[in-house]
Amino acid sequence: MIFRVSEAEQFRQWRDDEDMGSATLLSRLRGEVPPSPRMLAGTAFHAILECASTGEEITEAEHGGFRFIIEADIELALTPIREYRSSKLYPGITITGQLDHQDGLRIEDHKTTERFDADRYLAGYQWRYYLDIFGAKVFRWNVFEMREVDQDVYLVHHFHRLEQRRYPGMERDCEVLAVELAEFARMHMPERLVQIAA
| Tens-place pLDDT, residues 45-73 | 999 988 877 777 889 999 999 999 999 98
**How many domains is the chain built from?**
1
Residue 196 has a pLDDT of 44
pLDDT higher than threshold 80 for residue 175: yes
168 secondary structure, DSSP code = T
How far is residue 77's CA from residue 137's CA, in Å, rounded to a whole number? 18
pLDDT tens by residue, 123-136: 999 999 999 999 99
Burial status of residue 79 (CB atoms within 10 A of its CB: 0-12, 13-18, 19 or more): middle
What are the two backbone dihedrals, phi and then psi, of residue 20, each rounded to the nearest 5 degrees? -90, 125
What confidence category does residue 195 fall into, taking pLDDT thresholds of 50, 70 and 90? Answer: low
- What's the domain range around 89? 2-197
What confidence category does residue 90 fall into, taking pLDDT thresholds of 50, 70 and 90? Answer: very high
pLDDT higher than threshold 80 for residue 77: no
Of these ranges, 32-41, 78-87, 128-137, the one predicted with the greatest mean pLDDT is 128-137
- What percentage of the chain's residues is helix, strand, coil (to nearest 5)? 40, 35, 25
Length of the chain: 198
Q: If you average pLDDT over every residue of the chain, what do you get?
A: 92
pLDDT higher than threshold 70 for residue 198: no
The CATH number assigned to the domain holding 99 equals 3.90.320
Residue 197 has a pLDDT of 37
How far is residue 122's CA from residue 99's CA, in Å, rounded to a whole number? 17
What confidence category does residue 194 fall into, taking pLDDT thresholds of 50, 70 and 90? Answer: low
pLDDT higher than threshold 50 for residue 76: yes
